[in-house]
Amino acid sequence: MDQKKTGKFIQTLRKEKNLTQKELADKLLITDKTVSKWETGKGLPEVSLMLPLCEILGISVNELLTGEKLDQAQYVNKAEENILGLVKEGKKRFILFNMSAIVIVIYTLALMLVAAFVPMQDWMRILIIALALVLLIPSIILLCYFDRESGTFECKHCGHRFTPTFKAYIMGAHTITKRKLRCPNCHKKSWCIKRMYK
């Protein structure tokens, strides 16, 4: 999946429909900066926006992800490629998240062990512990951001997939694969399952 190609495709179709970025954004209840981000290849539409965007542009989701209009013969092949691409992207982000988490934990533990067992003055010990905490807290926030962005959460009531706000993500009780969130579609709070693709 080529984000730049998809972005240029969105831009071309938007212009064909005589829509400005602002007009398209207003129809989707988003900002024109988000549309600009798509069109410059710096991001893709969230899953919840793909169908409404495709309806406005008069294309299928498969064509949106491919970045071109498809005939019937191409359609099935491109659908399979797009699904595999989404799964690979989700796995890549998951591996990056886990590797980063392991490195941060090891680094913090190493600093704490140095502070605990290496003979040194008290002020140095306090400084090393403070340094470990100063590095740990922003790192945890960054890891939470990556984890939140690496997929979607699926509501167990209505099956809607969504990316929660950062606040809802942080505050939600969680296990390794589930997080207690309020679905923006049915507005019910439940243990939503983490899906590794958007």
Task: List, for residues 129-166, the tens digit of each pLDDT value.
Answer: 888 888 888 878 877 777 777 778 889 899 888 889 88
In this structure, is residue 27 part of a structural domain?
Answer: yes
Residue 149 phi, psi (nearest 5): -80, -15
Which residues fall within 8 angstroms of residue 163, CB to CB, at 6 or more apart?
A: 46, 148, 149, 152, 153, 198
What is the rounded average pLDDT of the residues 33-51? 87
Do 17 and 40 have their domain in common? yes
Tally of domains in the chain: 3
Range of the domain at 105: 91-146
Do 65 and 13 have their domain in common? yes
